[in-house]
Structure formats: structure tokens, C-alpha cells
Structure 1
């Protein structure tokens, strides 16, 4: 390694004017130095100058690889392969290896192997292959893989990035590349042996090599412990706000060691403090007063997630999550004009409760022009997408797939009709670059299917860390590595706990750890991380005039300790956080006025003889909570249905109802039931169950597969057998009505009601039965606000004499009648009116009916009058309600008491 000679920044700029080459540790530092050079030139009064040669070391090596071919086109040279091509080769080699058995994550293993190979080459480990060192199974597997990788690439004249530096050094030695006259290095202090070798070669060829002199500031440093991470972030954001308001020239830096893990919390806090006026509206990144340097995987950007969801439309059936994402995406043709219709279409699809939707079903519903959910623009896009999919070959090279995937997205109108912001435009350009990277895999992946091509594109997008070009702002939030070579007037380094800084070592699992430690390789040992952290911290503090170092003292119940590096900093001033002005996020919404609070529990009354949608569900909601009835049946407020794997309780109740209805349509009375032979009974049960299953299949075709139908058939057959055994024990009866629909009026409220079943006893009286697949108690009829009003309502409006009212609980192992009769023994297990605790205070049956009538009329009257107070009947009313975001019951602190046990 040549002796280190430093140049001041001014001298470096002079050298750049004279044609020197400036190599940096990363792109961010290259951009920063270019900006500083530009400012320097402008400050001297110049209006035009040559662009200086400033770039990262890795980019310069790649440029040299290209220049070799340019200067010597007649000589055969190794052909560089891209990182994507390299990873694809590692995956193939590992997949074909016997060591791949038992691997759960092939892609991650390939990434780790590629990282190990880079270290292997850069640290010259080919000379360190003592079998005693490489003794573990992972080490031996890597040596086999790396040998296969080297043989495969060298046999084809290919060269991966790990060997580029060594090859470029050799070309300089052979005179195949012109040696730069003057080379300046910035931030390049931790070089590998191979990188040091190329500098030795250049030095030996007469190249003048200097380093950019680091800043030598002696900053005022304050240590500030804070209660927790939340307080630390907010205090820092308030400090930044104060600095921005007091000085319009200062460059402010915020450095976070674990920025990746707290990225969203940082954005949320700084947006709330620096942009409190955007509390109700998302803030576009390009309009923020700060720049967050940390990029994120390209696949995480909304535009790219939308593209991947659109490409997933090739799947059939489609996961409902994919369909929902497509219908809600703004990056799709017609998204704005069809927003209401697409929302309606999603609601329709969710009502099926299917986890998967067929493409044809989606297309048919979107193309139905007679419905409110008609989405004709979407339908045309889907048809074009479908037509192109059908024309595609089963396999073709990645370059062809890249073109076809792009065309499929064009068919769907991606990225939409909206005007893209600068950041969104850059994101689309980055996506197109990833398509080109997919196309570049032809060399290592000659032919593949669409699924593999799409998965490969997804992997490329996941691995591509993307950060749109930041605007010119004075506040930069960065990780430790990005900030190392930046200079600031004011600096805050947060999160300096012993867990976060220094970082924990992360040696490569495929290289001997002892060898990594001996060679002091990156991430190899605690000592390496400590030395590295100490060097970074020293550089950061030298690059600023004033610094605040902070750490949170607690994380939930865990006490946190400060970083041990803080003890090494001299002149550290301990300080408690001062009181910084904390902006009120609500300020400015109504200047000069106090917020007023009011509570309105009265909705507009309904007109007389209004028909309520939902039938008896209106009275049930009014009993559970008046606000629920108003929101659900007048505002039509409902959460979207969630998909259910298999059949949920509602569907199981529906299919049970249907099977019993079809059975009693064929077997009309108890006598016929008792006369059925075993085989004939099974036959009738099978017929009823089959008909119910066919109906459910028409509603849930994706769920009701052949195998699932078999399982459901067995369940229903056993359930009906158990229930019919109970029916045999009753007094003789005839089935009078099944699923009888009636229109009734109660206090001017028109209701549509359906009675599950009415039986006629031998004495002519009727029995009302309401099937239930869950547990129910008759105490639900005797509450001040009856929460199960259906059976009392049937009884009151039945034109004939009713002898008993019952829940028919049809539940495996728990089949039973639950209810009340005029006397004992009408159905098994149920007492009569005179002997039941719940009716002991009534003198006669008609008195009970009158009490029910008053309760139900009161519920109807309250609903008609528009009474909409938030008044849940019990805790269960809230637990089974999806309106809490509207009523905000849990913000009231209203206490709930437990219900007394039900008396059945």
C-alpha cells in the first residue's frame, strides 16, 4: 500500500481541474463531492467548467473492464457477468449439489455463498485452504460450490465482479490500460488486500496517489439520555425544527445506527413535527423538509407492488388479496374514473368470502354493464391481458419474458392515468432497469417458464435497494456508514445503546471464522466491529461543529445501557433535554377558536310505514345498541367481508338450514320419520345434504372442491342423524311451514320476516322453531331489550295459537331444544311456562306475549324515532360489532360488567 499523503479539499479541487481522478467509497460521497466542487467553482466567479472525474471505486473498476475491450478489441478478454447472472449461477450450482438437500432457502444460501466468494477472492483465500481450517460441512460445501463456479465461469470466458479488481490490476501491469497520472482517494480506508494491490501497481507505474484530508474540527459535544426511543425521536425532531427556524443556512445531520429497523418510526415522527399541517394527508417524499438517505427494496414502493400484483393476475384462481390490491391500485388504467365501481366490485367479491377468485368470475362481474359495480375500462384491460397470456409460449429466454411482462403491464395500463411525481417517475425508470437485468440473464438461463421469470424479476426487485434522487434540503437523516464522509454544521447521533453500536459481528458462515478473525475481515469479530465503530464515530465528530449524542434508557420493560464508545469521547458534556417548543398538530385548523364538543344521539326520524332493510335484524341491532341499528340499517355502514378458508360459521349455518329444509320437504311429519327404515332414512338424508351442498357450491365454487364436499357431506350426514334422533322423541307433529316469509308491521315499521319452521301438534296448536348452529339461551328473549327478537316476533304475529317457542340448536354432540312451552313435554328437555324460573313472575301465557309485544314495539319505536345513542346492551354487543371506528366506544372509557349466567 503506498504511503498516505493528504490533500486539503481545496487542493483536491485544484487537482480535479488539472485532470485528477477522484475515487470514493460510495455514490453518496461522490455526489456530495461533486456538489461541493460545483459550489467552489461558482464561488470563484466561473460560469463554465469541465465535469470532474469523480466516481466510486467499484464504478471505476467496471469502467476499466469496459476500457480493456475498447483499447484492445482484437484480443480475447473475459466477459463480465452481472450480479444477477452470478446469483443465478450460484443457485443452479447449489441446487444441483448433494449439499442442497435440506436447504429451506436456496436464494438466501446463494446470496451468502456469493458474499463468501467475494471475500474469498478479495482476501486471497485461495492460498489459505488448510483442510484443518475448512473442516465443517458448510466449509466443505462452499469449497465444492466455489470450485464448480470457478470452473463453469472460466470455461466460458466469464468473469464475476469479485475477480474484476485483480484482472484490472493485471491489465495495468501488462500496459493494456493507461495509468492515471494523479489519483485521489476519499473515504477509502478499509481496503481488501486485492484493492491495496491495485494501488501498489498504480504507484509502481508512477501514479501520484493522495487521500482527501479529513476534517479536523473540535466540536462541542453534548450527551443526552432520554426516556425511550419515542421520546428520543421526538426530541430530535423538535431540535431539528428549532434549528431550521433559527438559521436558514446550517446543514443539519441526524445519524441513526439502526436506521433500517426504525425507518417508518423516524418518518412518522419527523413528518408530525416538521409538517404538522399534513396530519390528515400523506406527504409526498419530495416535499419533505428532510432527506432520509436509506433506500429500501424497490419491491416495497407502491408503484412496484402494484406492478407485481398486476403480473400475479396470470394466476388462476387469484388470491383475493391480489384482486383487492389490483382494484384499489391508483396505478392502473381507469383507476380514477372507476373508483366507486371498483370499490363496489371488491365489496361484491368479498361477499363470497372466498379466499380465491377465478379470473373468469372477476372478468364477468367487471364486464356486467347492467350493475353498479360495472368496470368496463378494467374489463377491457383484463381481456387484453388474458388474450396476450394465451398467446405466450410455455418457455422462452428471459429477454423475451422481459419484453412480454412489459407488454402485459401496458395492456393493464400501468402505471395508470395519473401524472407521476418526480419520485414516481424515477421509480418507473428503476423498474425498467430491472426488466433489462432480467433480459440480461439469457446467458445463464437459456429458457424458462413465465412463473420462473416473474419470480426472478421479483427477486431482482427485492435485492435492488432504491433511493430516488433527493431534493436539495438542509436536513439529512442517515445511517452511520452513509454519514461517515459527510460534513454538517449541526449533528445529532441517536440510538447509541450498547446493543446498536457497535454492531454485532456477522462473519460469513461459509468461511472459517478463525481465518476471518486472523485477517480482520469485515464483520468478522467483536474487536473488528469495535474498531470500525470507533473510527466511524471519530470521523463523524470531526466533520461537525456541534454534536448531540443520545440514547434511550428503556425499551418497554428492558433497561438499555449506553454504547461503550461514549466513555472514550473526551470533553463530553452531560445535559438533560431542554424544553423545546412542541407544535400542536391541530393548530391552524380553526385559528383563534376553541374546539367545541357536542354529543348528538338523535338521528332524523323515519317516515311512517318505512320498510327496514334487514328484516328482524333491525330490531336485533336496536336491542344490541341503538347506534349499531342506525349505522348498519340506515347508513349501511359495514366492514368489508374477510375471506374464510373452508366454511365459516355463517356458511355452516346456511348449509345446515338448507339440508333440514330439504329433508322435511320430503318427510312432512314425525310419523313418516318413525316409519323410515335405516337405509331409506340414510337415502333421504343424503338427498337433502347433496342438494344443500350443490347450492353452497354455486356460491363458493373455489372452496367446495370435490374433496371438501365429501368431508362436508360426512359432517352433515352425522349432524342430521343426531338431530333427527332428537325429533323422534317429541310429541307427534306435522311440519306446517318451512322458511315461511311474511311481511309484518310493528309500530309503523315494516319488516320482512322468515320463520325457519312451524310444526302443528295433534291438538292443532303450533310450535315455532328457530334453527341455530351455535349455542343460544332462552334468556335472550327476556332481557329488557331482547337481543334475539326473531322467535318472539313470529309468535306475536302468528295468526294461530302457539303452544311453544324454541331454538333448535343443531350442533354436533350438543343437539337440543332450548325454549319454552305452555306446558312441560312439548319437546324433549324443555320446561313449560308454569315451571320455568324465567317466567315465574308471569300469571299466564298471554301476559308473557304482551310483555314481548311491549319490548319489541319499543325497539321499533326507538328505531323509527332515530334514537342512535351509543349504548351497548352488554360487552358481547361490542365484541361482535365492526363499527367501533365510527362510534369510538373504547375512547369513552365506559365500564362493562359481566353478564349473569344464562338460565336455559
Structure 2
């Protein structure tokens, strides 16, 4: 066999062509590529050549990436049983576990939040030490604290590996060299390297051994094309991606059979933005609901963490369910997931069950509570299929071992997901099926931790499995597509008809140095390690850009001119490339799908479109109909007649409404005991404090069963203390009032105004010494009496109360009970009936009223009008003050207030144009 020399210079391989490579494959050559995509591409080229020659069957070509080739060589050596090097080759997840053990041993106080990132850098440093043949001497690593830590962790790591006869992948080329020297590995007829920009010293050493074993080795590169290269500047990254997508679409329309590539240097960070731009331009129907699984006309080279795929994130959520309390957000994802059996039959009921849990306001839900709700037969949120699976899950959780080996936990995880009904909610798409298979492969890899890890708890096992899912990058395979989306380094060996490289601004290309912190920087730079210096990054960038600009006939280079407030410029490496003019730039401008739909709109204006009128309506929400009608007529119609309300919100602790209700209840019970001003002032302080404390605890005991997860014993004690202090402070203020008698507490009554019949509950009615009544409403938020007046009052509640007790009414007042802000705020017939409450003559809105009866009459007239408008069906979108009324309104998507504003602006523009 003819000997072959290895090319020493990493950027000077021999040129070849596709026909030559196909011929070599036909003569049983082994081709080793620099990446998986190139291997797949040449398999397709070889198969297509065979099909074109009329063949119906042929041996599969021997093409595989470098790491896969090393893995196969090691497996062959093990299977042959003739390997000269013993040892168990660690999988990546097994190796990571050993690094973690070594790190924890050397630095037990290390922050758990940073462990994953640190271990990844430790493993990267270990791999580079072998790849670049760096010395392991202690003196080299006394550079700084990071390198010293690496040396300590590395010592523990290597000790574990030697003790157990473990071999890491970084050491594999050296182990294979021994096998080649001993002749225990079969050599290929010819070894061809394709798609490498450079060879590491470790790779060169292995290949030299293969050469010495009399195997021909060739390092080939396809000849470059004479390209038409131009550049273009874009406003920002989003407009750049959009313009690239339009250019690609134009190329496809002009040349449907063309091969096209979009190269994105920062693909990981810009993945979602690029995909959205391509979808909008190349496949706009994919943006419509229900079409997310449509096959795209582009392939993406970069995968995502396996944990980011919905089937896997749901599997992890299911495994994380606790038999005690689980966070509501996790329960909500479960109820809305289409990967739990029975979803197609129960999706509406499960959505209603989600709403039901939101209404409780609790941050967490017990699994048994969820099961109880799902089992409520006759309720709209009943989910019998879900209840069946939850019952099985609860039964299995009760048998969960306290500790088990990773292999045993893998079996338990599989059984758990099976009884939970995962992933059986709907028929899986091709991509989802591949994700599920990748998940089971991951679980099998987790079971392989038996070799390196002891028994562990369920929490530790689930945490380790989750970390593996996060660190595993996966990309479902799809059919070949005319457009390839690649990173810069993945283009090596590939050729296209059209190529667009985006993101070539000075801050991104050449890339900034990113030296590994655990290897001394002088050692990295002297060995020329990747990312070790700006000079090396410049050399690599020049070489890669030079190579890639020869891989297509037509090449566009682009760069964003701005990123937020940062002004960007083109990379210095493309300064000499001719730039397109603005006119040429406009050639690639095309309307997006949403813009086409928008331009084809037909507006129909409804001058008057009232809702169907009502003869009479009962409102259970007290004054809410009048409050909403005053704020915005459409809001009252949508909420009270259509039943459109925002979903409930969960939070840690009690929400403001519950805490306000607790205060109301305490006040009700306290004044039920005191009844009058005399009793308040004559009661000893100790007795009063005891009374308040007992009523606070009683109110809490009443409401606590409704919040079993939130209202813990400790929180009950804290809330009781808060209520007691707040109530005691308020009673001190009440002592400063003139004598009064509490006539009624939480008084229920009804009132009809303008056809609206409302049921009211008045917090308190005091009878003053004059015999007149003062109506009081407790508030824990900020209040202003000015909110009662005008044609559209913000707070019509107390004016409504005044109409029930118009005769003998002394005044109305808010009791503002807030820590640090205790006060009566209201309006009265005469000055001095309550501290801080002014006579109506002192207030701007009522200064012109002749008497108190006229004030009450004005309220009646205003509220009658609001009630009549509500019953008449007045439901126009007319917020009282848009900036305030709409600020926290959840119904803006329903009323489309922003669309109305846009139409109004467009109409004004049209009028100006006509003028």
C-alpha cells in the first residue's frame, strides 16, 4: 500500500472534487468529516449518484464524523478482544458525574447555582489539555486561583479514573494509537479527512500513527467557486433577518432547485429571531394557530436543550409532582399539556379546572386536592380520565423508595410516566416522536450512571436527570430542505448556489477571545489554543471567512447597524467588499403575511351598535354595575353580561382582597362586642387588646380552611399580629370621635336604580348623638372623596348607600385603615361629626349645592342615568380616562381599544391628506 504523508499546515489541505470523493467511497474508502451535517450531506450525494446511475441497491458509504469514528474504532477493539489498552470508556454524563464528585470534594462550599457551568468548563479544559498536548505539571498551574482549583479537582478526578480503570473520551485517541501500533485494529483501505479547518496536535499524532501503519491518509477540500460577493447594512438584527428571508424567497422563486444557505455566526442567541423571520416570509401559514408542526422549507443545524422541547419539559414536570404540595404553575402546565392521556377528550374541562385552581389564589396545590377537583362529577371542570391517572400516580408515589441506584430510578421513572399517561394526549408528530425517543435514550443513559454513582434519593435522581436533559442538545431530523441555516464553522465542506452570511458586525466577527479560566493563559497562548487570544481569533476569522466566501456562486454579507442604543459598524474583514445601494436593497423588500392581510382589510363603521336592552337586571356585585358603566360602558357589558373576566392570579401569601376581608370580619366582630363609643372608651386597655386578639384569631380560623397550602400556622400567627395591631390603632382613632352608637354591621339591603336591582352590604351604620346616621365603608387602599362625584364617579358605592338612608343621613365616609395612614375620609351634612370629614360646603364638587338634600339628589340622578344606560345596552368602548381606566384592564384584547385608536389616527391622516 502506498504511504501518504499528513499535511502539516492546518489550513492547506489538498483540493479534490465531488466525483473524486464518490470514486474513493466506491473503492471502500472511509471518510471522516469535521461535523455531522457534512457526513449526512455526502451520504445524500453518494446515494443520489447511485440513483442517477440506475442502481437500485448498493453498500452504504463509510462516512462518519470524527468523534463517531473514534467511538467505532474503540468498539471494534473491545469486540475483537485484542485491545492493548484496558478500561471502561465513560459516556459524557458519566464523566460529568465524576467531575462533580471531584469538585464537591475539593470545594464543598461551592455555589450550587454555578456547578453546572463550572463542570462544563472543567471538562472543556480537560479535553483541550489532551487535544493540544499540554503539560500536566503542577508548576504550570500555579498561575491563579482558578488554575490551582483545576489542578486539585483534576487530581481527584484522575485518581478516581485510575482506581476504577475508567477512560475518558479526551484520552481515547492515545488509547487508539496503542492499538494501531500493536496491529489490533483493522485499517481502512484509505482514510479521507473532509471538512476540517485545522487539526489538533492530538489528531495529527493519531493520523501519523495510522500513516506509519501503512494506511493512506488524505486531507481533502473541495475547490472554491468564483463568487459574486456583496455586502449590505441593515437597521438592526431583526430587519437583517427579515431582509435575508426575503432574499432567500426571491432566490427560491427565481431558481426553485437552488441550494441556499443562511449562515448566522451567533446562531444560538439569534435562533428564535431567525426562525420567526423565515416563517413569516417562507411559510406564513405556520404562524396560524394549529399549524406549528408544519414542515418548514429550511433545516436548522443547531439544536436546543432537550429539556426545552414540550414533551420532555412535561415529562420532567410530571416526575416533579409532589405528594404534598406542588407549585401552581407546574400544575397549570400539566392541565394545559397535550401530552397527558385524555387531553383530546378533556381539554376544555382541564382548562376550566385550571381556572378553578387560579381562583383559589394559592401558590401551591396538593396532588390530592387536584384529584378531588378533577373527580367532582357534574362540575364543568370534572376530568375523570385525568383523575384516573392521578390516582395511579398517587398510588405509585406512595411506593417510591427512599434511595435507589440510577438504574432502578430509571425503571421507576419509566413506570411513573406510563401510569401518568405520558405522552398519550394526542397523536405525535414526527418531530415530537423523535423527541420522545430521545428522552428514552436519555433515561437509558441515566441508568448507565450505575457504573459511577452510588444509590441516591429521588430528589437527587430527578435533579441529575433534569441536568442531563438541559445539557443534551437535540435537533429532530427532517426531510431535506432547499434552505440550510448554519453556524459559520458548520459550512466547512458544503457548497451552495446562494449564500447569505448575517451578523458580520465588528463586535461579533472576529469573535472576542474566550480563554478557558482553568488553564493558565500564557500556556494557552503559547500552544495556540482556540479562543486564547485576539490574534488567533483574527487568523481563524480570516481563514474561515475566506473559505466560506468560496462556497457559493452568489454571496451576500450583512451586518446590523444598531443593537438597542449601541451603534454598530461592519467587520473590518469585509471592508473591501462592495456594498449594495439603497435601490438594490429595496428590491428584496416584500410584504409580510400580516401586512398583506392588513392592507386587504375592509373596514365597516357602525355608528350605533347598542347591546340588546334589558327590562330589569339583578346584580349580585353591589355597586359594580354602576362603577364599570362609569369607567367604560363596554367594560360593564363585557363583564356583567358576557361574563368576560380575567383569570385569577396566584401568589405567595394572601392577596389584598383576602386580607381586606379579614379586616372587615375583625371589625364586624369587635363592634359586635363593643356596640358603642362609651364601651370603647371605658374598656381597660388589656381587656380591649384581649378582645381584638381573640377576634383576629377567630376571623383567621374561619378563613384558614379555604387556603390549606398558603395559610400555614406561622403565617396565621403573623397575620393575627398584623390584624391586632392595625385594629388597635384604628380603635384609638375611633376614641377621638364624638359619641356614637353602632346601629348595624354588614347590613344587607337592596336598591333599584335605572332598572338595575343591586344587593348591597353596608360595612357599618353609626347613629350619632343627633340621631342622624353615618354610613362607613372600610378600605385598606388609598381613597379620595372626590371619586364620588361627577357624571362618571369612580367609586359610586357610598353614594348608593346614601340613597338607601337618605332621610336622617349625617354623611358618608371611608374608614381608611392602612398601617401608617389611618383616617376618615368623606363628606357630611355638617362639620365636626367625624374627625377629618368636611361639610359638603367645603368640597369643590358640592360647593354650589344649596343643601345636603341636593347633594343626595345629584347622586341619585347620576346613578339613575348610569343604571338606565346599562339596561338600555349602551356598551360603547369609551373609557373615562384611557391612561388610567385601561392601564390594568384585562379586556383590551376583547374591546380592541388599541385598534380603535389606530383607526382613528388613520382617519385623521386621511382627512389631512384630502386637505
Say whether the fold is shared (TM-score over 0.5). Answer: yes
Q: 1:158 to 1:218 in 2, by over 3 A?
A: same
CA distance in 2 between counterparts of 1:138 and 1:697 reads 52
Shift of 1:157: 1.3
- 237-246 vs 361-370, which moves further: 361-370
Shift of 1:584: 4.9
SS in 2 for 1:879: coil
SS in 2 for 1:842: coil
Q: How does 1:475-874 map to 2 (within 5 A)?
A: 475-567=483-575, 572=578, 574-576=580-582, 577-580=585-588, 582-586=590-594, 595-599=602-606, 602-798=609-805, 801-874=808-881
Shift of 1:360: 2.1
* CA deviation profile, 1:322-376 (whole Å, cap 9, x unmatched): 0111111111111122122212111121112222222222221111113221111
Q: 1:102 to 1:245 in 2, by over 3 A?
A: closer
Mapped contact 1:94–1:100 kept (Cα < 8 A)? no
Mapped contact 1:221–1:573 kept (Cα < 8 A)? no
CA distance in 2 between counterparts of 1:541 and 1:704 reads 65
- 676-685 vs 686-695, which moves further: 686-695
Q: 1:97 to 1:615 in 2, by over 3 A?
A: same
CA distance in 1 between counterparts of 2:221 and 2:479 reads 28
Structure 2 segments unaligned to the other structure (5+ residues): 8-12, 905-915
* Partner residue in 2 for 1:51: 60
* Partner residue in 1 for 2:302: 294
Shift of 1:450: 1.0
CA distance in 2 between counterparts of 1:39 and 1:260 reads 32
Q: How does 1:188-337 map to 2 (within 5 A)?
A: 188-281=196-289, 283-284=291-292, 286-314=294-322, 316-337=324-345
Q: How does 1:5-84 map to 2 (within 5 A)?
A: 5-72=14-81, 77-84=86-93
Q: 1:103 to 1:633 in 2, by over 3 A?
A: closer
* Partner residue in 2 for 1:899: none
Q: 1:21 to 1:584 in 2, by over 3 A?
A: closer
CA distance in 2 between counterparts of 1:181 and 1:50 reads 15
SS in 2 for 1:448: coil
Question: Do residues 339 (structure 1) and 333 (structure 2) align?
Answer: no
CA distance in 2 between counterparts of 1:140 and 1:279 reads 52
CA distance in 2 between counterparts of 1:836 and 1:362 reads 53
* Partner residue in 2 for 1:902: none
- 5-14 vs 371-380, which moves further: 5-14
CA distance in 1 between counterparts of 2:66 and 2:672 reads 84
Q: 1:436 to 1:44 in 2, by over 3 A?
A: same
* Partner residue in 1 for 2:479: 471
* Partner residue in 2 for 1:177: 185
Superposed CA RMSD in Å reads: 2.2
Shift of 1:138: 1.5
CA distance in 2 between counterparts of 1:225 and 1:813 reads 58
**Structure 2 length normalisation: TM-score?**
0.94
Shift of 1:217: 0.9
Shift of 1:605: 2.8
Mapped contact 1:399–1:441 kept (Cα < 8 A)? yes
Mapped contact 1:662–1:691 kept (Cα < 8 A)? no
- 132-141 vs 359-368, which moves further: 132-141
CA distance in 2 between counterparts of 1:211 and 1:76 reads 28
**Structure 1 length normalisation: TM-score?**
0.95
* CA deviation profile, 1:234-269 (whole Å, cap 9, x unmatched): 111111111111211110111111111111111111
* CA deviation profile, 1:734-782 (whole Å, cap 9, x unmatched): 2121112223221221212111111222343221111111121111111
Shift of 1:609: 2.0
Question: Do residues 425 (structure 1) and 433 (structure 2) align?
Answer: yes
Shift of 1:573: 5.6
SS in 1 for 2:821: coil
Question: Do residues 446 (structure 1) and 423 (structure 2) align?
Answer: no
* CA deviation profile, 1:680-704 (whole Å, cap 9, x unmatched): 1011101111112223322333332
CA distance in 2 between counterparts of 1:339 and 1:741 reads 40
Q: How does 1:81-120 map to 2 (within 5 A)?
A: 81-98=90-107, 100-101=109-110, 104-120=113-129
* Partner residue in 1 for 2:415: 407
Q: 1:498 to 1:119 in 2, by over 3 A?
A: same
* Partner residue in 1 for 2:6: 2
Shift of 1:74: 9.3
Mapped contact 2:195–2:221 kept (Cα < 8 A)? no
CA distance in 1 between counterparts of 2:677 and 2:889 reads 40
Shift of 1:880: 3.3
SS in 2 for 1:337: helix
Shift of 1:22: 0.6
CA distance in 1 between counterparts of 2:651 and 2:146 reads 43
Q: 1:448 to 1:568 in 2, by over 3 A?
A: farther
CA distance in 2 between counterparts of 1:479 and 1:390 reads 48
Mapped contact 2:692–2:727 kept (Cα < 8 A)? yes
Q: 1:863 to 1:199 in 2, by over 3 A?
A: same
- 207-216 vs 459-468, which moves further: 207-216
Mapped contact 1:225–1:551 kept (Cα < 8 A)? yes
* CA deviation profile, 1:788-824 (whole Å, cap 9, x unmatched): 1111111112375222111111112221111122212
Q: 1:836 to 1:505 in 2, by over 3 A?
A: closer
Mapped contact 1:485–1:540 kept (Cα < 8 A)? no
Mapped contact 1:668–1:734 kept (Cα < 8 A)? yes
CA distance in 1 between counterparts of 2:624 and 2:579 reads 68
- 243-252 vs 598-607, which moves further: 598-607
CA distance in 1 between counterparts of 2:640 and 2:85 reads 79
* Partner residue in 2 for 1:900: none
Shift of 1:186: 0.4
Mapped contact 2:323–2:397 kept (Cα < 8 A)? no
Q: 1:892 to 1:284 in 2, by over 3 A?
A: closer
Mapped contact 1:80–1:158 kept (Cα < 8 A)? yes
SS in 1 for 2:268: coil
CA distance in 2 between counterparts of 1:643 and 1:590 reads 37
* Partner residue in 1 for 2:10: none
SS in 2 for 1:523: coil
> What is the aligned counterpart of 1:137 among 134, 145, 153?
145
CA distance in 2 between counterparts of 1:590 and 1:682 reads 67
CA distance in 2 between counterparts of 1:270 and 1:206 reads 50
Shift of 1:292: 2.0
Mapped contact 1:497–1:561 kept (Cα < 8 A)? yes
